[in-house]
Amino acid sequence: MLAFVHIEKCAGQTVHWILRSSYGINHCDILPWQGYNAMAPLDGFTATDLQRLRSVYPRLKSIAGHKVRTYTDLHKAQPDVHYFALIREPLRRQASHFQFLKERRQLTISFEEWVHTNDWGANWQTRMLTGTDDVNEAVRILEKKQVLVGLVEHFDEWLLLVKGLQAPDLNIAYERKNVASDKTLANQLLADKHSRAILEEQNQADLALYHYVKNELYPSWQQAYGPRLAEDLQQFQSNRGQFNKQRVLQSRLYRNLIYMQALRWHRLRLRKSVREVFAPQTWKFQESQQASRDG
């Protein structure tokens, strides 16, 4: 099974479409069963979550999402899980992320407020991939789990590596999705000395990991592919093709009509269970308060 770790602003939406196009109703863009509000930022999709998902997707071939993490216990439910991910030059990624939140999510706070008040911005790529800011530990996890980490600037080549080394049945024909047409704000942050210094301070681990992937890990995957890589890349780029729109539609319909309904029912049951646990305590508290007033 393929497991795509979707890091924000690293071409992830295009990869989601590729997986839908390849596997149709056997692909799932996962969401946390318990809801995002019940999770800490670094909580990830677990073996228990995957086992529950298989009741909805019995022939599951791939998953993707922001909660797919290499450091959880997915291997207990799927021993042959193949992780893959994309990373980006860290300063550009974080600047692009801030612009996205300002323009698409109506973020109202300033850049400095954002970087110092949210708990998922600093070294976000390293933490998303490995759950730690310790670069040595991050490298150990990536090597142990054999995570095929690519670089956004080598997107087409990385797709060939994933297909050639992990998933021969992957349909890598694609059109780009969710690409920012205006990068003005991100470029301003990168050009300004003060904001750039903040970005550098925020991303020391990410910068170290990026250079490790660029100079050591990614070249090892290129070497594993073999001498035809340049030739295959040229051929692929001359005709990237298009998504299998029928499979994309099937994937989205199945997700919306089946998976999302199962997700809603599960969350409702969780909320009901929580109410049942806390209701007696609430009743006792209210009773004691009433007794105090009566006394």
The set of long-range contacts for 232-239, using a CB threshold of 8 Å and a minimum separation of 24, is: 232/160, 232/164, 233/156, 233/157, 233/160, 236/156, 236/159, 236/160, 236/172, 237/156
84 is a domain residue: yes
Is residue 290 one of the residues assigned to a domain?
no
- Per-residue model confidence as pLDDT tens for the chain (295 residues): 999 999 999 999 999 999 999 999 999 999 999 998 888 888 999 999 999 999 999 999 999 999 999 999 999 999 999 999 999 999 999 999 999 999 888 889 999 999 888 766 789 999 999 999 999 999 999 999 999 999 999 999 999 999 999 999 999 999 888 666 688 999 999 999 999 999 999 999 999 999 999 999 999 999 999 999 999 999 999 999 999 999 999 999 999 999 999 999 999 998 887 665 555 555 454 555 544 444 4
Classify residue 44: in a domain, yes or no: yes
Say if 202 falls within a structural domain: yes
In this structure, what CATH number is given to the domain that contains residue 149? 3.40.50
Kindly report the pTM of this predicted structure: 0.90
Beta bridge partners of 62: 2, 27
Looking at the structure of the chain, the number of domains it has is 1
Residue 272 within a domain = yes
In a domain, 191, yes or no: yes
Asked whether residue 294 is assigned to any structural domain, the reply reads no
Q: Is residue 291 part of a domain?
A: no
State the residue range of the domain holding 32: 2-285
